[in-house]
C-alpha cells in the first residue's frame, strides 16, 4: 500500500502544534480524482474517499476524525470545542480549537489554506481563503475569534493557485483595493484586459495589517504542478486536498 504523500509546514509553531497538508498521491481514487481525494462532495466514490481519509489519519497518527466543514466561501468561523458530539457537518470556512486532540481541516483545490497557531501553543485555527472569503474578511474573522493580538500568532500559507495562472476580472481587484489600496500590488494586468492575482500576497497583507509578523508559506502553485496537486481551475471535476492542524495532548 502506498502511503499518503504529505507536506509538513516549515514554521516555528510550538511543539504542541501538529499540522500537515495532503498532496494528491498515495490514495485509491481513480480517474479525475486520482489518487488521494479527500472531498466527499465532488462526485468521487464514497468508499474510495473513506479509505483515503483513513490512510491520512493513519499516516499522521491523528487523535480523532478531522472536523470536515461545509465550505461556502464565506467568513464564518466554527468554534469546534462548542459542537455537540452528534453535530451535523458545520457550515463555515474556518475553525478553531483550544482542546488537545481535536483535528481541524479545510479542503482546497486552488484556494489558499491558512494555518494559525498561538505562540504559546494554547490554540490553533485553520482557514479556507478563496478570493471571495479573503476579500470578505475570513482571515480577520479567524484572528478575532482566536482572541489574540496578531503578534501572538504564527501563520502558514499553503500551496494555492499562483499568479501566473489565476486570472480574474476587474471586480475582484476592486473588491480588494476598496479595502486597502496596497492590494493593487497583488494584481498584474494581462494582455486580455484582465488581471493576474496573487492570493499569497493578498493574504500576507491582511495578516500583516492584523499585526501578524510570523508569516511563513509554501510558494507552490496548485495549477502548475498536476502530479502533486488537484486544481479546479485546471481540471474542473477533480479531487480535494486538505490542510490539517491540531494540538497534541503533550508536546512531543
Query: What's the confidence (pLDDT) of residue 3?
Result: 85
User: Do the domain assignments include residue 169?
Assistant: no
We report the CATH number of the domain holding residue 140 as: 3.60.140.10
Identify whether 179 is part of a domain: no
Whether the pTM exceeds 0.85: the reply is yes
Determine the pLDDT at residue 206: 98
Q: How many domains does the chain have?
A: 1
Q: Which residues of 86-95 are buried (b: 16+ CB within 10 A; e: fewer)?
A: eeeeeebbbb
Query: Does any domain span residue 188?
Result: no
Cα–Cα distance measured from residue 101 to residue 213, given in angstroms and rounded to the nearest whole number: 27
Find cell 479595502 and name the residue. Answer: 179
pLDDT tens string, the chain, 252 residues long: the values are 678 999 999 999 999 999 999 999 999 999 999 999 999 999 999 999 999 999 999 999 999 999 999 999 999 999 999 999 888 999 999 999 999 999 999 999 999 999 999 999 999 999 999 999 999 999 999 999 999 999 999 999 999 999 999 999 999 999 999 999 999 999 999 999 999 999 999 999 999 999 999 999 999 999 999 999 999 999 999 999 999 999 997 644
**What is the β-pairing status of strands 17-22 and 241-247?**
antiparallel
Instruction: Look at residue 127 and tell me if it is in a domain.
Output: yes
Instruction: Map grid coordinates 500576507 to a residue.
Output: 204
Q: Are 233 and 165 in contact (CB under 8 A)?
A: yes
In-domain check, residue 120: yes
Element (H, E) at 128: strand 124-129
Give me the pLDDT at residue 250, please: 62
DSSP string, 197-231: E-HHHHHHHHHHHTT--EEEE---BTTT-TTT---
- 180 found inside a domain: no
Could you tell me the residue range of the domain that residue 74 belongs to?
17-160+219-247
Spatial CA neighbour of 249 closest among 9, 17, 8: 17
Residue 211 lies in a domain: no
Q: Are 243 and 158 in contact (CB under 8 A)?
A: yes
Amino acid at each position: 500500500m502506498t502511503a499518503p504523500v504529505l507536506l509538513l509546514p516549515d514554521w516555528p509553531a510550538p511543539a504542541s502544534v501538529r499540522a500537515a497538508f495532503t498532496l494528491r498521491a498515495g490514495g485509491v481514487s481513480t480517474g479525475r480524482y486520482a489518487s488521494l481525494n479527500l472531498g466527499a462532495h465532488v462526485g468521487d466514490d464514497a468508499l474510495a474517499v473513506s479509505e483515503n481519509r483513513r490512510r491520512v489519519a493513519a499516516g499522521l497518527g491523528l487523535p480523532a476524525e478531522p472536523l470536515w466543514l461545509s465550505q461556502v466561501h464565506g467568513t464564518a468561523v466554527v468554534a469546534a470545542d462548542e459542537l455537540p458530539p452528534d453535530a451535523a457537518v458545520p457550515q463555515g470556512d474556518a475553525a478553531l480549537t483550544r482542546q488537545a486532540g481535536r483535528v481541524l481541516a479545510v479542503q482546497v483545490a486552488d484556494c489558499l489554506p491558512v494555518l494559525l497557531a498561538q505562540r504559546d501553543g494554547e490554540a490553533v485555527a485553520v482557514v479556507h481563503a478563496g478570493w471571495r472569503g479573503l476579500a470578505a474578511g475570513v482571515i480577520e474573522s479567524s484572528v478575532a475569534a482566536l482572541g489574540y493580538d496578531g503578534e501572538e500568532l504564527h501563520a502558514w500559507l499553503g500551496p494555492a493557485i499562483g499568479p501566473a495562472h489565476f486570472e480574474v476580472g476587474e471586480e475582484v481587484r476592486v473588491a480588494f483595493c476598496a479595502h486597502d489600496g496596497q492590494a493593487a500590488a497583488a494584481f498584474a494586468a494581462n494582455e486580455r484586459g484582465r488581471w493576474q492575482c496573487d492570493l499569497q500576497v493578498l493574504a500576507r497583507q491582511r495578516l500583516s495589517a492584523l499585526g501578524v509578523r510570523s508569516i511563513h508559506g509554501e510558494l507552490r502553485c496548485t495549477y502548475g504542478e498536476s502530479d502533486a496537486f488537484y486544481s479546479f481551475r485546471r481540471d474542473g471535476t477533480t479531487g480535494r486536498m486538505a490542510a490539517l492542524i491540531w494540538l497534541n495532548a503533550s508536546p512531543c
